[in-house]
Amino acid sequence: MASSILRFLLLTALFFLSEPTYRPPKPNLLVLPVQKDASTGLHWAYVHKRTPLVRVPVLVDLNGRFLWVNCDQHYLSSTYTAPFCHSTLCSRANTHSCYSCASASRPGCHNNTCGLMSFNPVTLQSGVAELAQDILAIQAQPTSPPSKLASMVTVPQFLFACAPSFLLHKGLPSIVQGVAGLGHEAISFPLQLASHFGLQRRFTMCLSGDPNSNGFIFFGEQPNLLRPHLDISRDLVYTPLTVTPKGEYHVRVTSIKVNNQVVVPVNPSLVSELIASSTRRGLGGTMITTASPFTVLQRSIFEALVQVYANQIPKQAQVKAVEPFGLCMDWKKINKAPDVELVLSRASAAWRISGENLMVEARPGVRCLGLVNGGDKPRAAIALGARQLQENLVVFDLARSMLGFSPPLLSRGTRCAAYNFTTPP
Q: How far is the CB of 100 from ligand NAG (least distance, A)?
A: 5
- In Å, how far from its chain's centre is CA 37? 14
Cα dihedral 275, 277, 278, 282 sign: positive
| 144 binds ligand NAG, rule: CB under 6 A | no
Q: Which of 1, 2, 5, 102 binds ligand NAG (CB under 6 A)?
A: 102
| 100 binds ligand NAG, rule: CB under 6 A | yes
Contacts (CB under 6 A) with ligand NAG, residues 272-311? none
Q: How far is the CB of 130 from ligand NAG (least distance, A)?
A: 10
Gap between the terminal Cα atoms of the chain: 51
> Of 154 and 422, which has the nearer Cβ to ligand NAG?
422
Which of 291, 292, 281, 284 has its CA nearest to residue 251?
Answer: 284
Q: How far is the CB of 230 from ligand NAG (least distance, A)?
A: 16
Which residues touch 145 (CB under 8 Å, ≥6 apart)? none
> Of 106 and 412, which has the nearer Cβ to ligand NAG?
106
Q: How far is the CB of 185 from ligand NAG (least distance, A)?
A: 27
Cα dihedral 203, 67, 420, 394 sign: negative
- Using DSSP, state whether 217 is helix, strand or coil: strand
| 149 binds ligand NAG, rule: CB under 6 A | no
Q: How far is the CB of 420 from ligand NAG (least distance, A)?
A: 4
The b/e string for 392-401 (b: 16+ C-beta within 10 A; e otherwise) is bbbbbbbeee
| 101 binds ligand NAG, rule: CB under 6 A | yes
Asked if the peptide bond before residue 164 counts as cis, ω within 30 degrees of 0, the response is no
Interface mask toward ligand NAG for 23-52; x: CB under 6 A: ------------------------------
| 110 binds ligand NAG, rule: CB under 6 A | yes
- Using DSSP, state whether 324 is helix, strand or coil: coil
Q: What share of the chain is helix, strand, coil (3-state, %, to 5)?
A: 20, 35, 45
Q: How far is the CB of 129 from ligand NAG (least distance, A)?
A: 15
Interface mask toward ligand NAG for 111-140; x: CB under 6 A: x-----------------------------
Which of 335, 372, 369, 374 has its CA nearest to residue 354?
Answer: 369
Q: Which of 60, 69, 109, 349 binds ligand NAG (CB under 6 A)?
A: 109
> What type of residue is 110?
H
DSSP state at residue 117: E
Applying CB under 6 A, which residues contact ligand NAG? 100-102, 105, 109-111, 420
